[in-house]
Amino acid sequence: MTSEFELIRNHFVRPTPQAILGPGDDCALIAPALGMQLAITTDMLIAGTHFLPDTDPCQLGWKTLAVNLSDLAAMGARPRWALLAGSLPEVSEPWIAAFTDGLFACASYYGVDIIGGDTTRGPLAFCLTAIGEVPIGMALRRDQALLDDDLWVSGQPGLAALGLAHLQGRTVLAEPLLKPCLAALQRPLARVELGLELRRRGLAHAAIDVSDGLLADLGHILQGSAVAAELFVAQLPPLPTTADPVLARQCQLAGGDDYELVFSAAPEKRAEITALADHLALPLWRCGLVVGAAPGQLTLLDDQGRVVPINEKGYDHFG
């Protein structure tokens, strides 16, 4: 039988050129570059709550890291290191090998060293801590949105939730829509370069990643910044034409698992943000406006300026 330490050594230990000391001792040793501060985030992924138990392990390995890197992206931080703790119901070396293939593929794509972690026997779950660097005092935060700021969102939120609805049998998606929806759910792309450019170019005041739903996460910016906002349905990304429009809109507004970025920016930055979208080949949608000092108040408006009722904002683990 494979021991815990053989399991770690065989599957989870790779070179860590960005660390002073990587896996193998009681602690890893790292040091931020001169003039940088560390941005640190952690997330849990639990079978049955955050992913379906039969999820492909390679895709799951990718996603376990990517969802944490999305938090670093939202703060304009460059990912550098990560630690992974995992609970496994049994030792299946083919399953673990596929999981680590996905994990290290994501790490390689974003330039991250896996510098340590832990394994134990138990229900299938993972907890990953990601560490990045950002120039001192320059991190993008949730509490910096200003009156009259535009609100922007990247990509196409809602696809991941549509993919999940398909897997759960709540809808049936056909190609060519099915493939991008499943990719958004199972192999999300953290918008690291977008976050870096928003911070470098001084384009964004406040930012957050969309993990629990567009309305819910935008609400965190509004609450943190003590402002209100209007969100314009007609200026959101177009809904997929072959999906149920009611479900597609619900997924877009409250589905979650998107890992796109929502940010606020001054109106005079519109041309620069449009140019950045072209530079990154990533759609950026100007979809709202910060309108007043009513902390957390969000009004959804249709194309005629009429208020649209908000029945659901997003995912809440304890809601």
Q: What is the pLDDT of residue 7?
A: 66
- Which runs of consecutive H residues, i.e. helices, occur in 75-213? 93-110, 159-167, 178-186, 192-200
Secondary structure letter of residue 21 according to DSSP: B
> Bridge-partner residues for 230, per DSSP?
289, 299
- Mean pLDDT along residues 68-96: 95
| Cα 94 from Cα 111, distance rounded (Å) | 25
- Band the pLDDT of 3: cuts 50, 70, 90: low
Contact 7, 92 (CB under 8 A): no
Sign of CA dihedral 39, 156, 226, 273: positive
Q: Across the chain, what does the average pLDDT equal?
A: 94
Range with the lowest mean pLDDT among 23-32, 197-206, 245-254?
23-32
C-alpha distances out from residue 174 to 247, 252, 254, Å: 15, 18, 22
Contact 196, 207 (CB under 8 A): no
Q: What is the pLDDT of residue 70?
A: 98
Q: What is the pLDDT of residue 224?
A: 97
Confirm or deny that 211 is annotated as ligand binding: yes
- Domain extents for the chain? 4-135, 150-301
Structural tokens at position 155 = 């990509």
Confirm or deny that 50 is annotated as ligand binding: yes
Confirm or deny that 2 is annotated as ligand binding: no
Confirm or deny that 212 is annotated as ligand binding: yes
- Mean pLDDT along residues 158-176: 97
Confirm or deny that 117 is annotated as ligand binding: yes
Q: Given the structure tokens 């609805």, which residue do they identify?
A: 165
Confirm or deny that 314 is annotated as ligand binding: no
This prediction's pTM: 0.94
Q: Would you say residue 317 has pLDDT above 80?
A: no
What whole-number percentage of the chain has pLDDT above 90? 85
Q: Amino acid identity, residue 313? A: K
Tell me the CATH architecture of domain 150-301: Alpha-Beta Complex (3.90)
The count of other CB atoms within 10 Å of the CB of residue 70 is 27
Contact 130, 192 (CB under 8 A): no
Structural tokens at position 242 = 């072959």
- Band the pLDDT of 319: cuts 50, 70, 90: low
C-alpha distances out from residue 155 to 79, 158, 231, 319, Å: 21, 10, 16, 27
- Band the pLDDT of 312: cuts 50, 70, 90: confident
Q: Would you say residue 170 has pLDDT above 60?
A: yes
Confirm or deny that 259 is annotated as ligand binding: no
| pLDDT per residue as tens digits for the range 114-123 | 999 988 899 9
- Mean pLDDT along residues 83-103: 93
Q: Which residue has the higher pLDDT, 303 or 8?
A: 303
| Cα 262 from Cα 219, distance rounded (Å) | 11
CATH for the stretch 4-135: 3.30.1330.10
Q: Would you say residue 318 has pLDDT above 60?
A: no
Contact 114, 82 (CB under 8 A): yes
- Band the pLDDT of 228: cuts 50, 70, 90: very high
Confirm or deny that 315 is annotated as ligand binding: yes
Q: How far apart are the first and last CA of the chain?
A: 42
